[in-house]
């Protein structure tokens, strides 16, 4: 059987990702233009924060996961490092355009992918309690509804009925619909049915948009569109395959390391596409839960609780590692197995909304996250 060697570029081209854009100001409806843009990278499966940002200063780290910690980590300070896949992100840290939030998560502890992913997008007080998402609700409050560049609107962006979806096909002439036929069909319908066909007719007049589907290219495209005058204010990119129960790997060529490289290249793609708009941008990662502190019997890790969040963008002007470190000893772990979450990640999301959309924290806490007393982390991240 022949050997197959994938370069990092080949791997990124083969990695699946989905892009969603939203937040288009409506003339006469929107008020002042929001001060920035906000982009979310959803990491499905549960990113291992202890691999992504290893706390090598904790003496229990190597005792409990000798096969899961890279020996080539990039040093951030005397306690934390970065996985070697994060070379671009490390450069942004050095330029004061990135930050790390460690030992954090949404307040969810039951370790179900379905519940956790719903909660991190909907941000309800319980899983499946909300039909809208936290970013969609924030866009509503900023009076900037928009569209999703996908066949389906992801929960995180669902908000106002003004939101719509659009999926530019890469099939030649797939956008050349017969608009007169669509108009005739719409005339035979009334009410909501007619409105649906009107939307289809509007989309049929748009020229084909050919967008490569690899994650880095999607991010670059999103950045370019967001940088335009009147362009969308928000974007979401989904990346999966973070559920590493076996053979997780510690180095760049491991399963988790490969996915972290995808995240690194997405951030690089955003910066390239945003251009001058980088200075008013904020990018943050989102994952449903972290992984267990101890590695399991198949050199992997299982569903956990606390993880790490990565932030990047020109809106950050001083790099920082924000953490109330809980420790990794058995007695310090959540249920004696997981990294304890000591920072509510909703506070991080709220700070990013406040920076990008110019909304008041108390309004965000109450109307977006339904938690009036949600702590404000804005000054820790953006001061």
- List phi, psi (to 5°) of 50: -75, -20
Which tokens in the block code for residue 200?
């289809």
**So what's the pLDDT on residue 159?**
84
Q: How far is CA 14 from CA 6, 8, 145, in A?
A: 10, 10, 32
DSSP 205-272: TSPP-----SHHHHHHHHHHHHHSTT--SEEEEEE-----SS---SSTTSHHHHHHHHHHHHHHHHHH
Round to whole Å and give the CA distance between 36 and 355.
7
**So what's the pLDDT on residue 26?**
58
> Which sequence spans correspond to the domains of the chain?
8-168+211-382, 170-209
**So what's the pLDDT on residue 143?**
84
- CB under 8 Å to 152, separation ≥6 — which residues? 165
pLDDT by residue for the chain (383 residues), tens only, comes to: 333 344 444 444 445 578 888 887 655 544 567 899 999 999 999 999 999 999 999 999 999 999 999 999 999 999 999 999 999 999 999 999 999 999 999 999 999 999 999 999 999 999 999 999 999 999 999 988 655 555 567 899 888 655 555 544 444 444 444 445 545 555 555 555 555 445 544 444 444 455 667 899 999 999 999 999 888 899 999 999 999 999 999 999 999 999 999 999 999 999 999 999 999 999 999 999 999 999 999 999 999 999 999 999 999 999 999 999 999 999 999 999 999 999 999 999 999 999 999 999 999 999 999 999 999 999 999 98
378 HSE (CA, 13 A, CB side):
16
pTM listed for this prediction: 0.86
Which tokens in the block code for residue 372?
């009036």
**So what's the pLDDT on residue 154?**
86
CATH architecture, domain 8-168+211-382? 3-Layer(aba) Sandwich (3.40)
**So what's the pLDDT on residue 193?**
52
Which tokens in the block code for residue 247?
């053979």
Query: Is the CB of residue 328 less than 8 Å from the CB of residue 339?
Result: yes
**So what's the pLDDT on residue 164?**
52
- C-alpha 47: how far from chain center: 12
**So what's the pLDDT on residue 196?**
47
- List phi, psi (to 5°) of 316: -90, 125
**So what's the pLDDT on residue 267?**
98
**So what's the pLDDT on residue 21?**
84
């Amino acid at each position: 059987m022949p050997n197959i060697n994938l370069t990092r570029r080949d791997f990124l081209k083969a990695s699946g990702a989905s892009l969603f854009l939203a937040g288009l100001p409506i003339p006469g409806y929107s008020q002042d233009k929001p001060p920035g843009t906000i982009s979310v990278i959803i990491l499905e499966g549960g990113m291992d924060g202890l691999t992504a940002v290893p706390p090598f200063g904790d003496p229990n780290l190597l005792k409990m996961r000798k096969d899961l910690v890279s020996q080539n980590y990039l040093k951030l300070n005397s306690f934390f490092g970065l996985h070697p896949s994060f070379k671009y992100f490390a450069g942004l840290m050095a330029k004061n355009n990135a930050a790390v939030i460690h030992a954090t998560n949404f307040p969810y502890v039951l370790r179900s992918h379905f519940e956790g992913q719903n909660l991190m997008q909907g941000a309800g007080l319980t899983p499946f309690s909300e039909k809208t998402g936290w970013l969609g609700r924030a866009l509503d409050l900023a009076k900037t509804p928009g569209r999703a560049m996908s066949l389906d609107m992801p929960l995180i962006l669902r908000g106002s009925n003004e939101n719509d979806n659009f999926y530019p096909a890469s099939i030649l002439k797939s956008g050349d619909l017969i608009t007169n036929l669509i108009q005739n069909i719409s005339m035979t319908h009334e009410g909501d049915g007619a409105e649906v066909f009107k939307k289809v007719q509007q989309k049929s007049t748009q020229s084909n948009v050919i967008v490569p589907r690899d994650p880095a290219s999607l991010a670059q495209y999103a950045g370019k569109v967001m940088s335009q005058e009147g362009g969308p204010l928000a974007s979401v990119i989904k990346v999966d395959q973070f559920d590493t129960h076996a053979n997780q790997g510690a180095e760049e060529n491991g399963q988790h390391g490969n996915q972290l490289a995808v995240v690194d290249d997405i951030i690089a793609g955003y910066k390239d596409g945003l251009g001058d708009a980088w200075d008013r941008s904020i990018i943050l990662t989102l994952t449903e839960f972290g992984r267990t502190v101890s590695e399991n019997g198949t050199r992997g890790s299982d569903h956990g609780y606390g993880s790490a969040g990565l932030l990047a963008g020109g809106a950050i002007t001083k790099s920082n590692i924000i953490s109330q470190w809980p420790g990794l000893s058995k007695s310090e772990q959540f249920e004696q197995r997981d990294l304890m979450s000591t920072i509510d990640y909703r506070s991080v999301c709220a700070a990013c909304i406040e920076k990008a959309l110019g909304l008041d924290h108390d309004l965000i806490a109450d109307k977006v996250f339904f938690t009036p007393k949600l702590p404000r982390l804005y000054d820790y991240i953006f001061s």
